Structure 1
Amino acid sequence: MLDFFELHGKYKHSGLNKKHIVFEDVQGVLQGINCSDIDVVQVANSYEGRPINLVTIGRGATKVFAWSQMHGDEPTATSSLLDLLLFIQCDSGRRWYKEWRDNITLHIVPMLNPDGAAAVTRENAQGIDINRDAIVLQTPEGRILSKLMDDLHPNLAFNLHDQNPYYTAGENGAKTLVAFMAPPPDEQKTITTARRHAMQLIGSSVELITPRFLGKIARYDDTYSSSSFGDLAATKNIPCILIESGYDAADSNRQMPRMINFVALCHALSLLSASSDISGKEKIYNDLPMNVEGDIID
């Protein structure tokens, strides 16, 4: 199996090691793509008129859909997704991509909330939290995400966020670098087949990641929220993986979570392509320490 940690260090985009990622950063990477297998299409405009792009890679029956920066001030996974696009264009990445391109179609929205990114705010330009807009759909960003979810009906979704710096992996634990969660489909937190599959994929990723970041990976609270898009995916029987990128004082630009997101995405694609047996891996997910918020509120 490829060492995705090492490959990320070698091939990550050099211009994205910074606190804030804005539309121009994303657009610069997308415009620089030189690969016929990567298709970029504008699917909507933000409230202030900035393009929202859908990137599609592969041609397989299994569909994976990942979106990032629906909160404008949460850019970490945007860098990870752009790193993945750059990696696929390099020799090692091309060889890896050819292993799954006939089995998987990967769809990416690398920045859902470009207006919030420009203003460095959680909300969109209407002042609305897009991740509380899954039912009412007041925002153009929420409407396109809902439409894409329905049109694509993916076999796996990645909902990618940042969290505030005060979370720890368990009570009195180390700062959380990354927290995972498989969203529930209802208030009873029913473990459907789709949700169990998400738990198993998370468990397999955690098994890979933990040796390098022992004690710094956590499980995010899974209280049901009907107006959130991850929970909406779960109600549609779509396995969904929430990744919340955390913080370390020695890593103010969140480059370690950036790498972990990249590794988790690549690992999941490899598992799906190979139809790997991950039965029982949900125990690893369930055994993670809870993501505990400190007394300071961001």
Structure 2
Amino acid sequence: MNRALRRAAPLALASAAALLLAGCAAGSAPDASETAAAADCMDVSSGSLSDGVTVEGDFGVPPTATFATPLQADELQRTVVTEGDGEVTAAGDRVNAIVSAFSGTSGQQLFSQPATITAGDESVFQAFLAGIDCVPTGSRTVTVAPADTLYGDQGNETIGVAPGETVVIVVDVQEPLEPAKWTEDVPEVKFGADGEAPTVTLPDTAPPAEYQLKVLEEGDGDEVQAGDTVTLHYQGTSWDTGEVFDQSYGGDPAQFSTDDVIQGFGAALIGQKVGTKLIVTIPPQYAYGTEKSDQNPLGGQTLVFLVEIQDTAAAAPAAG
């Protein structure tokens, strides 16, 4: 699979998707006894440390978090800073969120990016599950995570977490993501012959602020379900620069789960049929986040993807 679609690559482009996963690797994977009861909420309460974190910024964009440093926690604490009015999350729900993490030692932001988290997923660290667990959609939570609920004695050098370090996590729990119909200022698309790359010509307008999708040709095959492994060709263009930053054309089709790519890409596939050709415009908050850096060059950019869905299959159970 090519880099631009991976929520975890390259290194600092790693969105929360990869950073959230404990998986079966050595370290602090969630205790199965605590997550096996799918109908239960986690046993996590607020405390003086989580209550002491001040969060500022609009919902759905990277916030700032202020707290006394160095912060060292012995237990997981979660405070609901803002309670939403949507449906309460439950085990098995795929929850869209903006996840922002801060160093407990320095107070500096470690990362802030969109992610889709499955509530109750045993492959996700407890510290991140706590942020979305049994709260109404629209909520903002603060979790103070001791090392043993996160990266443990190994830390995470990739994002600057030292061994044994406490991390403060702010999560905005968002509404389910669904694109609007794209009817105005749709780019012109010319498909190439014999496997040649297509040409997408963007209109001379400002990037759309809305997440939008247009079906160019509807297929008649199986429908893509959330979590499916999808085989497809794609081309990604930055609306901000007009440049193609990644594509599968010219090589083998890409193949990945709808859960393993940026939010706006994965959500665009769900519900589509094999054989469908579509184009989707994804604003930064559903792509690589609103903050651009040398390590995250696509941050802050509106992305346009042309997609041809070739096959879909239910994901195989993960090995533990």
User: TM bucket by the smaller chain?
Assistant: under 0.3
TM-score (norm 1): 0.25
Larger RCO (CA under 8 A, 6+ residues apart): 1
TM-score in terms of structure 2 length:
0.23
| Bigger radius of gyration | 2
Question: Which protein is richer in strand relative to its size?
Answer: 2
